[in-house]
Amino acid sequence: MLSRAHLHALAVSSGFCQRESPMKPEIFFDMLLQTVTLTDDESLSYMVSVLESDFGITIKKQSLHERFNERSVLFVKAVLSEILCEHFADLYSGELLPCFSRILIKDSTKFMVSSSLEGEYKSCGGDLYSRSKAGVSIQYEYDLKSGGITDLNITSGSRNDRTDAGESVDNIDAGDLIIRDLGYFSTPVFQKCIEKKAFFLSRLDCSVKVYDENLSQLSFSGIYRSMQKTGMTEKEMNVYVGKNAQMPARLILQIVPHKVYEQRIREKTKKSRGQGRGQLTEETKIRCMFNLFITNADVKKLSVSHVFPLYRIRWQIELQFKSWKSVFKIDHYKEVKKHRYLTMLYIKLLLIVVNLQVIYCLQASAMQTEADKIIVISLNKALKTMRTLFDAIFDMIRGTCRKAMQTAWYIRNRLSKNHRLESKKNKLCLPEILQSIICISEK
């Protein structure tokens, strides 16, 4: 994947390597990778010690400090870009909703970072007791069909998801299906999808007006009463969404249990009071009785039976973010200069990407069915173990494709034991959700 010669070429093209030095760029990269893998100690003292003991390079802390600069960030970003282009497996490309070329699921995570980044990465608020006023947002998107990561971008914490939706809309291609949460809700973006012959599946923003086919504003209370009378729990209808009823869409409604409704009212009331807006409107309350989704995909491409499990998969990103923070400590920071912080953060993301790609491949190959239950490798357990397999991961990154496959089988054997995902009552794991969608599609 990344031979020494290729790493050196990336270092030259990024400007990191400008003259001959005992500490070659590939040694610098290996030292960073070893540091974030084997320890949480990212001090200059530790890195100087690693360079001397493992690579025979003697360097002063100040000299190493100076190697962390804008060019080191560009170098590591270039390596990450190369890794993102690698695809270890096509997971469900031929079976999962073949009418869509890609199924793109996107979300973001925000956290505080070193105050040295305050000028470039503004915080969106957060912890009042934090030592830092700087924060980042990591935009993360992957293709559910192939397992490939299509976006992994660090932005300012003050940049919201709706802005990202508008600025990244050109990355959507014809035939794509995008699935995102309410933070990305944007009717101009959805209209752009329609123009590009792409598709979207989104929760409906409770503040957006909806009109029926006669261009009369929809009465959600009337729909609720009608569904209650007939005993319906799910319903779909063609509507127009947004100002002046400019965007056609399919609206899918699902009545939620009363406990879910009460929880939503409590959360929205608390949020409304915190923002000084007073009591909830009756319209907001009635909409809380439903799960509301909109899509421009017709029923042949995306049936109601597909919508709910597909959107549930979006929560997998939230679970991944938790693992990134608990295993790789991406949200932990020390007060260091910004280029050193960013270099280390990009190295962590690079290591995460490699681990995810390997685990996706192994999950597909090691999946088993046992008593109508799919047995699958746990992502969180696998990430924890793979942090201890530095030599194997290092060989995979540095070796040939053949060597990478041999190493993958070694890791597969390690993870096949005691790494199964614990089944939870009435909850399906990701492969089970996907399998249910594939089975529905084949009927």
> Could you say which DSSP state residue 377 is in?
B
Cα–Cα nearest to 351, from 373, 310, 318, 323? 323
Q: Of all helices (H) and strands (E), which one includes residue 147?
A: none
Six token digits for residue 171: 């990355």
- CA dist., res. 314 & res. 48, Å (int): 42
Q: What is the mean pLDDT of residues 357-373?
A: 68
- CA dist., res. 190 & res. 80, Å (int): 30
Cα–Cα nearest to 56, from 48, 45, 66, 67? 48
**Digit-coded pLDDT (tens) for 200-218:** 999 998 889 999 999 999 9
In this predicted structure, what is the pLDDT of residue 128?
Answer: 43
Confidence of residue 369 (pLDDT cuts 50, 70, 90): low
- Model confidence at 435: pLDDT above 70: no
In this predicted structure, what is the pLDDT of residue 273?
Answer: 77
**Digit-coded pLDDT (tens) for 166-208:** 999 999 999 999 999 999 999 999 999 999 999 999 999 888 9
Q: What is the mean pLDDT of residues 359-374?
A: 66
- CA dist., res. 312 & res. 173, Å (int): 23
- CA dist., res. 320 & res. 309, Å (int): 18
Find how far residue 159's CA is from the centre of its chain.
16
Q: Classify domain 102-255+288-319 by CATH number.
A: 3.90.350.10
Q: What is the mean pLDDT of residues 343-350?
A: 93
What is the DSSP secondary-structure string of 169-238? GGG--TTEEEEE-GGG--HHHHHHHHHTT-EEEEEPPTTS-EE-TTSPBP-HHHHHHHHHHHT-SEEEEE
**φ, ψ for residue 111, nearest 5 deg:** -160, 160
**Digit-coded pLDDT (tens) for 84-113:** 876 555 555 567 788 999 999 999 999 988
- CA dist., res. 399 & res. 420, Å (int): 28
Cα–Cα nearest to 223, from 290, 294, 282? 290
More confident residue, 417 or 208: 208
- Model confidence at 372: pLDDT above 80: no
Q: What is the mean pLDDT of residues 131-153?
A: 86
Q: What is the pTM of this model?
A: 0.84
More confident residue, 283 or 126: 283
Q: Which amino acid is at 186?
A: S
Q: Which residues pair with 202 in a beta bridge?
A: 180, 294
In this predicted structure, what is the pLDDT of residue 440?
Answer: 54
Q: Of all helices (H) and strands (E), which one includes residue 333?
A: none
| Alpha helix segments (H runs only) across 296-429 | 304-313, 315-327, 338-366, 379-386, 390-398, 401-415
In this predicted structure, what is the pLDDT of residue 430?
Answer: 66
- Percentage of the chain beyond pLDDT 70 is 87
- CA dist., res. 416 & res. 114, Å (int): 39
Q: Would you list the domain boundaries of the chain?
A: 4-85+336-366+378-415, 102-255+288-319
Cα–Cα nearest to 250, from 258, 241, 238, 259? 238
- Model confidence at 274: pLDDT above 90: no
**Digit-coded pLDDT (tens) for 61-88:** 999 999 999 999 999 999 998 888 765 5
